[in-house]
Structure 1
Amino acid sequence: MAKLTQEMKDLMDKGLAFLATADENGNPQVGPKGTMRVFDDEHLIYNEETGRQAWHNIQATGKAAVAFHPTPGLKGFRVEGRATTYTDGPYMENAKQFVEGTKLPQPMAAVVITVDRIVTLDAGPNAGTEIANDPVKD
């Protein structure tokens, strides 16, 4: 697994995350995920609330990419990895705790993305530079 640095985690905490997936036919989908957050140095987590297109795509392919780019800013990161859904257990408990005391809906699942690859989304000549690429071998 690739590891997130503290700089990356701090930036991710400030930016809105956009989740990209593709269905079983390769059709892309992208959308904001307001509950996306860093779980630990090697995982992201978000609360699945709708069970629609991204949910379907993750069930079908298990692949995801997440872009973080705070506005305004000239620095960002894309994280790519394998997505796994949980409807019970500690990840689901984390998702439920995340919405406590908010107006957010209760999650139908927690989605955990294992960080396999990290790429810069910086403006200028460093755009698209691969920082880490360390997928877990099945």
Structure 2
Amino acid sequence: MKKLESTKLTAEQQRFFNVKLAFVSSVSKDGLPQVGPKESLRVVDESHLAWVEVTHAHLWDNIKNGSKVAVVVGDVLSHTNVRVIGTAHVSEDEALIEDLRTKTGKNGDVVVVDIEEIDA
């Protein structure tokens, strides 16, 4: 993968994030990596991703402690993948929260990623 010049997701990249299983990684204060799948992850717009956080485990703690996150989606058959790096925060946008909970059928806090880098 190489870093792209744009920090805006293309329409094709947005589709990829919306249809493939995403994995989110973070790092603890002690430097321990954490990676896990986020079935509820969706594209909010060209600059933001979001998911409904239901486990509130290691990733949640790492985000609350200021860890950057990386979100990766890939397709094995085409050898295509996209990674974004950004800052995650808990959303207070009631419309977004309700929309994502309805679309995913999950209930929990909504985490939004502000995209700062895209690699493909």
TM range (shorter): 0.7 to 0.9
Partner of 2:58: 53
The within-5 A match list for 1:1-80 is 2-80=7-85
- Measure the CA separation in 2 of the matches of 1:54 and 1:73: 29
- Measure the CA separation in 2 of the matches of 1:23 and 1:62: 7
Overall identity of the aligned pairs, in %: 31
Query: TM-score under structure 2 normalisation?
Result: 0.86
- Measure the CA separation in 1 of the matches of 2:18 and 2:77: 14
Larger Rg: 1
Matched residue count: 115
Q: Which has the higher contact order (CA 8 A, sep 6+)?
A: 2
Deviation at 1:70, TM superposition (A): 2.3
In the alignment, is residue 114 of structure 1 matched against residue 107 of structure 2?
no
Conservation of the 8 A alpha-carbon contact between 2:27 and 2:67: no
Q: Which consecutive residues of structure 1, in runs of 5 or more, have no partner in the other structure?
A: 121-138
More strand by share: 2
